[in-house]
Amino acid sequence: MIGENYIHFYDIDSTNNYLKNNWRNLPSETVVRASVQNSGYGRKGNHWSSELGGLWYSVLFKPKSRPLNPWHYVRVFSLAIYDTLAKYSINAKIKWPNDLLVNDKKICGIVGESIITGKVPNAIIVGIGINVNNDIPYHLKNYAVNLKSLIDKEVSVEKIMNEINHKAYNSYYLRYLKEKSVSVITKKWLKVLNIKINDEVTLINLNEKKENVFIEKITPDYLEVIDIDGNIKKIYAGEISVRKSGGK
């Protein structure tokens, strides 16, 4: 069960860092939550603001068999969070590859990391940050939103975490392990993504250079896009940000 082994800190540098340093001594599916993180980070090492009131946690997996690809573990959580928000009447979208947006504003970010010492990952860490009751910093108000403002009340972060973990384990993770259902789960993920085939999107690289392209194909690992000169290229998750043209 996800969270059967549960560790809570009032404050820590980062729950992902904690698992990176301690994964050897902890069982698979350990959950580490912190009320406050002093050096929370997201994809591409971006700073992740982690003030009191938000849900900041990481989950450890030590895969003995499939799936080995960390993106599958991240997808388990994007779908479980999507379903959990729906229970609170929130209609979110999954922003490719794995953030959750409500009305184009970010409510949740997920980062997946693998620890590889041989050919396959020894450990996979999924770090989840959800704006629940935490105030959104002023400079992020146009880009981020919290659950409290959407449903007009505070919700216990532990309750939400347990709901997500329960859903992740029973509806997605066990199916990934037991059945040949990677494609079924991927199909559901494609349905709730914020982008579709033929959409025009803006790619933003690490130097903030922007380019508008059209989407030809969406796969779990990459997007195939066509640029204005007709060149087709593959965009791998994590290398580049993808925004809907005209969106945030």
Task: Decide: is 237 part of the binding site for ligand BTN (CB under 6 A).
Answer: no
69 or 131: CB nearest ligand BTN? 131
Task: Decide: is 42 part of the binding site for ligand BTN (CB under 6 A).
Answer: yes
Task: Decide: is 189 part of the binding site for ligand BTN (CB under 6 A).
Answer: no
The per-residue DSSP string of 179-232 comes to SS-HHHHHHHHHHTBS--TT-EEEEE-TT--EEEEEEEEE-SSEEEEE-TTS-E
Q: Which stretch binds ligand BTN (CB under 6 A): 8-16, 141-149, 177-185, 237-245?
A: 8-16
Which of helix, strand or coil describes residue 136? coil
Mention every residue, 6+ apart, whose C-beta is less than 8 A from residue 185: 72, 75, 76, 79, 172, 175, 176
Judge residue 171's burial from the number of C-beta atoms within 10 Å of its C-beta, 0-12 exposed, 13-18 middle, 19 or more buried: middle
Task: Decide: is 111 part of the binding site for ligand BTN (CB under 6 A).
Answer: yes
Sequence length of the chain is 248
Q: Which stretch binds ligand BTN (CB under 6 A): 10-18, 85-93, 181-189, 205-213?
A: 10-18
Task: Decide: is 121 part of the binding site for ligand BTN (CB under 6 A).
Answer: no
CB of 16 to ligand BTN, least distance (A): 4
How far apart CA 180 and CA 129 sit, in angstroms, is 29
Q: Which stretch binds ligand BTN (CB under 6 A): 13-21, 76-84, 181-189, 199-207?
A: 13-21
The binding site for ligand BTN (CB under 6 A) comprises 14-16, 37, 40-43, 46, 48, 50, 56-58, 99, 109-111, 127-129
